[in-house]
Amino acid sequence: MTIDIWQAALLGVVEGVTEFLPVSSTGHLKIVEGLLGLDVADDSVVGFTAVIQVGAIAAVLVFFARDIARLATAWLRGLGDRGRRADPDYRFAWWIVWATVPVVVAGLLAKPLVDGVLASLWVVAGSLVAGSVFMWCADRFGRHDRPESDITLVDALAVGAAQILALLFPGFSRSGATISTGLFRGLDRVAATRLSFFLSIPALTGAGIYELKDAVGGGVGVVPLVTGTVVSFVVAYATIAWLLRYVARHTFDLFVAYRLGLAVLLVVLLSSGVLTA
């Protein structure tokens, strides 16, 4: 399926804004793609959506470059020197790896469902509501008293596994599911959000590489792919900086209200025939 450059740029903006906000980038992309007349179930469109996520991931890599370099250095040193394996950064790097395994396995096993019946916009609407309830409860009932230095392997595994919710139910939101799970584990908002960012790197990079063949082979074209990816990088970088400042001082009520409003709007559009599921 062909995607025009202006459509690619618009979708890049949507991806960049929504990938790390707890509002569901997949849900927003499916809605906008539907409004643009694109077939959200087409392999090339699914592939395009996954590939432009790499732009958002590149923004994380640049924004957290110092943290990532520190973790990578500690990991490499630990591999070669048993005495350095007590370094918290070495352990944390391995936790990110292990916490990514559940979503990788689920993604491979559930791909037919994810690309099939679960790709429905009705699923997106329901997941927006379910994810809002999940986030609201985590924000209200989590202790929020554990800093990033207090993160454990169990925390990382729980938050990593939460990515499966967003994988299976587009609209639930990967960042929403992971941040909320971190809050349920007692992490403070900034720690939960930063952990969500770190876990996004292997998961979304892998998805983008895996889907690249469908995006290019399906006729999307290199120029639209590059356009969407570059735009998503620029917008995502600004969004990351804003979100970290926001969560340090505010609850997630704004996002909960927005998600519920979007779910209502989506149901109206589907029921009126403006969008097809």
Is 195 inside any structural domain?
Answer: yes
Q: Does 33 map to a domain?
A: yes
Q: How far is CA 2 from the centre of its chain?
A: 25
222-275 residue pLDDT tens: 899 899 999 999 999 999 999 999 999 999 999 999 999 999 999 999 999 888
Question: In terms of Cα–Cα distance, which of 37, 17, 41, 51 is closest to 227?
Answer: 51
- Of residues 30 and 157, the one with the higher pLDDT is 157
The answer to whether residue 277 sits within a structural domain is no
The total of structural domains in the chain comes to 1
3-state secondary structure of 127: helix
The answer, yes or no, to whether residue 156 has pLDDT greater than 80, is yes
Rounded CA separation 244/277 (Å): 34
- What does the pLDDT average to over 29-46? 84
Enclosing domain of residue 35: 5-271
Q: Supply 37's token pair.
A: 């007349």
In Å, how far are 10, 51, 202 from 157, measured between CA atoms?
34, 25, 14
pLDDT above 90 covers what percent of the chain?
61
For the chain, give the mean pLDDT: 90
Residue 214 lies in a domain: yes
Residue 103 lies in a domain: yes
Task: Read off the pLDDT of each residue in 184-191 and give the average, rounded to a whole number.
Answer: 95
Q: What's the rounded Cα separation, in Å, for the pair 95 and 261?
A: 36
Q: Are 55 and 228 in contact (CB under 8 A)?
A: yes
Q: Per the domain annotation, does 276 fall within a domain?
A: no
